[in-house]
Amino acid sequence: ITIVKLIGWKERDKTLLVDPDEIDCLKRVARLNEDADSIYELYKHPNPTCEAGSIWKDIVLSPSRLNIQQELKCAIQKVEIFAMQNANLLMEK
């Protein structure tokens, strides 16, 4: 995941503080298709959502995603049940 920094003004020279990574991000956003009806229509070719390493391709479209989500849901439910049981025990005292 790319962390994008804010672009700001240099105080003395009144010029922008920029990093090539931020400019690339802004260029990518500027190329978005505002009329897109799906993720596949957002970009012209090459579509970064279909490239290797894309979060969309590697995680969202992953066939194992459902299993991972179910495991996460189960783990969260166990933690919530444990927390409720502890809260009930504290209230009984």
Residue 86 lies in a domain: yes
34-80 tens-digit pLDDT:
898 887 788 776 666 667 667 677 777 777 888 888 888 999 999 99
Residue 73 lies in a domain: yes
b/e burial code for range 25-38 (CB count within 10 A of at least 16 → b): eeeeeeeeeeeeee
What per-residue confidence (pLDDT) applies to 9? Answer: 60
Domain that holds residue 74: 63-93
Residues 26 and 39: their CA atoms lie apart, in Å, by 18
pLDDT tier at 92, thresholds 50, 70, 90: confident
What per-residue confidence (pLDDT) applies to 15? Answer: 66
Residue 71 lies in a domain: yes
